[in-house]
Structures are given as structure tokens and as C-alpha cells.
Amino acid sequence: MNTTSLLTALQWRYATKQFDATRKIDAETWNAIEESLILTPSSFGLQPWKFIVVGDPAIRSELRAASWNQPQVTDASHLVVLTTRTDLTQSDIDAWINRMAEVQGCPTENFAPLAGMISGFSSSMSADARRAWNSRQVYIALGQLMTTAAMLNIDTCPLEGIDPAAYDRSLGLENSGYATVVACALGFRDPADKYAAAPKARFDRSRVIEHVGKA
Amino acid sequence: MNTTSLLTALQWRYATKQFDATRKIDAETWNAIEESLILTPSSFGLQPWKFIVVGDPAIRSELRAASWNQPQVTDASHLVVLTTRTDLTQSDIDAWINRMAEVQGCPTENFAPLAGMISGFSSSMSADARRAWNSRQVYIALGQLMTTAAMLNIDTCPLEGIDPAAYDRSLGLENSGYATVVACALGFRDPADKYAAAPKARFDRSRVIEHVGKA
């Protein structure tokens, strides 16, 4: 991809407020978006998350009520709820080590130094800190999700203004070891969405980029 | 961009451990990467961050020492330190409202309802919660950064295993209102990096994607 196409796609994207409720993302494109979620990088590769794709209209309505009634929740083609593991246990670490050994076709013992490093890092944190750390990883997934969607000309709206506890109840996540962090609606902008036409606003480069020495 | 190119780029990407220290990202590509950072979406558009591009070799060496001596810090073509605003004040909110009014060519009064909503949301949180919220936004930027770099065939290595306080000292960030969250090295993989050849490991789709109702 060249820089012009990349920047055109990033300039094109915006937080879509009004989706065309009649248009659905096709299966091939949706599959690629799920693959992109799966491929998201995370610290130590631990993937402390689960991504819930909510199609059920009744549940979407419940979630809309738990989202300040934002219409994106029901009108967008797809809705993903990004959840985090509420903790990081030895069992999570073991699952990851076993998976790596499986994919790379080698004994788990090869990963013993890595496993020790992750355990040491994890046990140095409080349970709250581990959960906060996991939640931050979920935001990498949110970033990759919105960016890759833009590359595929799919509109998105990140949804932080939600009631995570109500989401957890609607999705049966209570005591599941996973909890809602943030959601993202995906689909196609309604041509009537006035926000689509607003000039994109960002702070001036000098406020957000600083150079220390010649790059 | 089609789904095959997208997934090929995401499969190609990995956390590069060994960079080719002789290769530099060209100016046009680097400019696009900075633009991508600037265009990162954030909650309410507040952009609670500053991205520091560290070219100075002496500072890079200091940062390497504060990063478990990871060679990526000095050997990669570019190093970005992603910092967060340590708080979110009325002055930050005003700056953003003023900037939107400027870009969109309308009076700041038009944004009064939004300004009130942001202030209400912000003041409902403790200072610690605001900082944590800002830090999570920075991870959206990290996600967009790694994803867009992959689209441009630029290698990356996210660096969480760093001493943020030492970074802050080296970069003169103490009491600046910004603090280091995470860093990212960017450049070109060394052909000798054994991690480049390892099969990409992710959990099975069934562990990380769940469908509630037909999508």
C-alpha cells in the first residue's frame, strides 16, 4: 500500500454517528475483520481478550439502552464488544505457552524462560493492575480494528460511552472471567450523517509530535 | 485495499527483535507514519498524548539502558515514545473545542453541549482514573501505529518492558504534564532475526471470537 492510499483511508474514516441500517458487510470482508482482531498484537502475545460479535437484534436493543440510546448500536451492520480477561492467571499463561508450542511444533519446555518472565511480571502486579494492563491491550485491538476497517472502506464508531456492567449482564459475562471494556459498531455511513462532511479536526502537528534529535 | 493484501500485511508483521541498523525509513514514508499517529481516533477526539520521535543517539542509548538493554531501541530506524497527558483539565478541553471551532470555521459556542458533556464525564472521574483513561487512548495510537506501519511494509516492535520513569527523566518529561506509557521501534527486520521465520501463533478463533446471534 502506498502512503497516499493509506492517508486517504485514514482521512476518510470518522466516528460514524448514523449508519445505513439497510447495508450489511459481506461475509468475506467480515471474515477479514475478524482475522484482523485475531491477529492483533498484545504484550507477550497473551491476547487477554474475547471479541463478541452481537447479531441478535433483541440483545442489540438491550445494549443500545445501555449506551445512552446511541443508534449505532442497533443500526450498524455489525457490533463488536471488546472484552478483557478480568485477571491473568497461571492457567492463562500455560494456555498461551501450550498454544505456541503447538503452532511452532516444539516442546513447551522451549518456552520455559518466557513463561518464567511472564509469571514474574504478572505476579509483580496487583490484581487491579493486571486487569488494567489487560484492558490497555484491548485498546490495541480497538486501534487495529478501526484502522483495518478503514483500509477496507468499512465505517466504524468506537463506543466508550456505554455501561460495561449492563453489557456484561446482557451478554452473560458476569463471573465468566471476561468483562466489557469498549464496543465498536461497523458498517456503512448513512449519506445523511452530517458528521461525515465535517472537516476532520486534529491538533496541530506541533502539539502532538516532538522530535528529539534528527530522526 | 482488498482483504487478501490486508491479511498478508498483518500476517507479515511480527514483533521485530533484531532490526537492520543500516536501513532508514525514507522521509515520505516516515511523514505518513507521523500523519497516521496524528490521525489516531480518541475518545471525544481529545488526543491526550504526545508522540516523541527520538533520533538523538545518546538519548537512544540511555533509553536502551532503561529498556532491559533491548537492542531495538538503538538499532531500529526510528523510535517513538508514546506519552499520555497526566491529567485532563478544563484547559485541555478548551484547547480541543477551540481547535474544532478553528478547523470547522464556526464559533466555539456551537460546541458548548459537547464541552459540557466532556467536562461532566471528566469531573466524574478521579485524577487517577482520568490518567488511566488517557493511557488507554494511547494504546489506540499504538494499535494504529503498528497496523499502518505493516501496511507500508515497515517493521515494528512495541516496547512495554521499559522503565517509564527513567524514560521521563531522559526526555525531560518530569512535571511537563506528559508521561511515558509505551514505546515503539520502527524500521526493517534484520534477515538474521530468527523470530521472523517463526510461524505466527495466535489462539484458536473459538477462544477469542464469540458470536451472539447471526451476525
Span A16-25, average pLDDT: 98
pLDDT classification of A214: cutoffs 50, 70, 90: confident
Span B23-29, average pLDDT: 98
Nearest CB neighbour to A1, from listed B3, B143, B152: B152
Q: Is the pLDDT of residue B192 over 90?
A: yes
| Residues of chain A neighbouring B141 (CB-CB closer than 8 A) | 143
pLDDT digits (tens, 9 = 90+) for B87-115: 999 999 999 999 999 999 999 999 999 99
Question: What ipTM, to 2 d.p.?
Answer: 0.97
Q: What pLDDT, on the 0 to 100 scale, is given for residue B172?
A: 98
Cβ contact, residue pair B139, A139, below 8 Å: yes
Nearest CB neighbour to A201, from listed B11, B57, B104: B104
HEC assignment per residue over chain A: CCHHHHHHHHHHCCECCCECCCCCCCHHHHHHHHHHHHCCCCHHHCCCEEEEEECCHHHHHHHHHCCCCCCHHHHCCEEEEEEEECCCCHHHHHHHHHHHHHHHCCCHHHHHHHHHHHHHHHHCCCHHHHHHHHHHHHHHHHHHHHHHHHHCCCEEEEECCCCHHHHHHHCCCCCCCEEEEEEEEEECECCCCHHHCCCCCCCCHHHHEEEECCC
pLDDT digits (tens, 9 = 90+) for B145-169: 999 999 999 999 999 999 999 999 9
Q: Which helix (H) or strand (E) holds A12?
A: helix A3-12
| Residues of chain B neighbouring A148 (CB-CB closer than 8 A) | 6, 10, 147
| Residues of chain B neighbouring A13 (CB-CB closer than 8 A) | 41
CA dist A67 and A54 (Å) reads 14
Q: Among all residues of chain A, which has the CA nearest to that of B159?
A: A43
Cβ contact, residue pair A215, B30, below 8 Å: yes
Span A11-31, average pLDDT: 98
B140 Cα to chain A: minimum distance (Å): 4
Q: What is the mean pLDDT of chain A?
A: 97
Cβ contact, residue pair A160, B43, below 8 Å: yes
Q: Is the pLDDT of residue A215 over 80?
A: no
Cβ contact, residue pair B10, A199, below 8 Å: no
Q: Is the pLDDT of residue B80 over 80?
A: yes
**Domains, chain B, with CATH or none:** 3-208 (3.40.109.10)
Nearest CB neighbour to A53, from listed B135, B160, B211: B211
Q: What pLDDT, on the 0 to 100 scale, is given for residue A128?
A: 96
Span A142-171, average pLDDT: 98
Entry pTM: 0.98
Cβ contact, residue pair A53, B209, below 8 Å: yes
Q: How many CA atoms within 13 Å lie on the side-chain side of A35?
A: 16
Beta-carbon contacts below 8 Å between A and B: 232
Nearest CB neighbour to B104, from listed A199, A211, A215: A199
Q: What pLDDT, on the 0 to 100 scale, is given for residue A41?
A: 98
Q: What pLDDT, on the 0 to 100 scale, is given for residue B214?
A: 82
Q: What is the mean pLDDT of chain B?
A: 97
Nearest CB neighbour to B158, from listed A41, A104, A202: A41
